[in-house]
Amino acid sequence: MLRPGLSFLRPDVSSIATPRLLLRRLTLDDAELMLSIWTDPDFLRHVGDRGVQTVDQARDAIADGALLSYAEFGYGPYHVALRDGTAIGVCGLYSRAELDHPDLGFAMLSPYRRQGYAYEAALAVLKSCHEDLDLHWLYAIVAPANKASRALIEKLGMNYDRPVQLDGDDSVVSLYRLRLSEEEH
């Protein structure tokens, strides 16, 4: 069952195009991309170790994470690719038990950072939140030391709210939020 305020208004929206990018829902075939992201040294430093070390483990994590999120909430992370099909990262919405609203998350492979791709993908996801999802608030969480991600989140118009500690995590992260509409459920 969908939580109030998280209903998917256009269930046919499974892909988004921007001038430079193609975003689509993750599939089990994206296990190698996700393994590359989850084992990236910057991801490990700023986000944490997901315990995923093999393609099979990545496939299982996609099935237990993204695929379940699409089914339960109608949203999740998007595979992000250049227009030529080159996979460069992920960007999308995540549901966390500790948060009342979805969390915007993104991760780009190292060669594709600092070129505006994460910002372009995040803007596309924000637009989809406005047009396709009945969302009124959006959160983002970020490690305080992750200056690049904090800057991107702030460029999107999100404002720092408070420090939070998520279940099963020893570190405290910064919570940002953005009001998407005046209505509340």
Query: pLDDT digits over 8-59, tens only?
Result: 334 445 789 999 999 999 999 999 999 999 999 999 999 889 999 999 999 9
Sign, Cα dihedral of 40, 58, 112, 127 = negative
Burial of 20: CB neighbours in 10 Å, binned 0-12, 13-18, 19+: middle
C-alpha closest to that of 181 among 2, 11, 9, 1: 9
Number of domains in the chain: 1
Q: Is residue 184 part of a domain?
A: no
Domain with 24, as residue range(s), is 15-136
Q: Is residue 142 part of a domain?
A: no
pLDDT for residue 13: 59
Q: What is the mean pLDDT of the chain?
A: 89
Asked whether residue 2 carries a pLDDT value surpassing 60, the answer given is no
Burial of 93: CB neighbours in 10 Å, binned 0-12, 13-18, 19+: buried
pLDDT for residue 184: 54
Q: Is residue 30 part of a domain?
A: yes
Q: Is residue 178 part of a domain?
A: no
Asked if residues 163 and 175 have their Cβ atoms less than 8 Å apart, the reply is yes
Q: Which residue has the higher pLDDT, 130 or 100?
A: 100
Q: Is residue 56 part of a domain?
A: yes
Q: Is residue 155 part of a domain?
A: no
Q: Is residue 8 part of a domain?
A: no
**Two tokens, residue 155:** 């460029």
Q: What percent of the chain has pLDDT over 70?
A: 91
Q: What percent of the chain has pLDDT over 90?
A: 72
Q: Is residue 95 part of a domain?
A: yes
In this structure, which amino acid lies at residue 91?
Answer: C
pLDDT tens-digit readout, 85-113: 999 999 999 998 889 999 999 999 999 99
CATH assignment at residue 48? 3.40.630.30
